[in-house]
Amino acid sequence: MEKFNRLLSVIQRSLKDIERAIYGFILMSEDLDGMYISLQNGTVPSNWAAVGYPSLKPLATWYEDLKLRVEMFRLWLVEGNPHAYWLSGFFFPQGFMTGSLQTHARLHKIPIDKISFGF
């Protein structure tokens, strides 16, 4: 959730900056210019991609995907553990899976190296 909050913060700050630059309140830096061009071309700006999750999607579908990911975490936070997890919705699914194994091992007092996932 921290990574998503950081990404959302970067998006919010950069959108405010580009709006201010377009209206002439601040200088249009090279980063803002690159972001402006990316937005016009429908691609994810590099400053967002640098703190975001890997994706090859164009901006519109990337944004819809981001909204779904944030909603997944919001529901998890508000309503509690879901019945199923959207693994690809995480920044680092392997970390979540390892954490799940650790939680199960502690709960049932089983050595973690004795359990694994089956697919």
Render pLDDT for 102-113 as a digit per residue (tens, 0 to 9): 999 999 999 999
Residue 93 lies in a domain: no
Determine the straight-line distance between the first and last CA of the chain, rounded to whole angstroms.
26
Over the stretch 61-113, which tens digit does the pLDDT of each residue have? 999 999 999 999 999 999 999 999 999 899 888 999 999 999 999 999 999 99
Q: Please name the residue that has the structure tokens 């694994």.
A: 116
The whole-angstrom separation of Cα 81 and Cα 69 is 15
Q: Which domain holds residue 64?
A: 2-84
Q: Is residue 98 in a domain?
A: no
Q: Is residue 40 part of a domain?
A: yes
**How many structural domains compose the chain?**
1
Within-domain flag for 52: yes
- What's this model's pTM, rounded to 2 decimal places? 0.84
For residue 48, with 0-12 CB atoms within 10 Å meaning exposed, 13-18 middle and 19 or more buried, which class applies?
buried
Q: Would 29 be classed as within a structural domain?
A: yes
Which amino acid would we find at residue 35? M
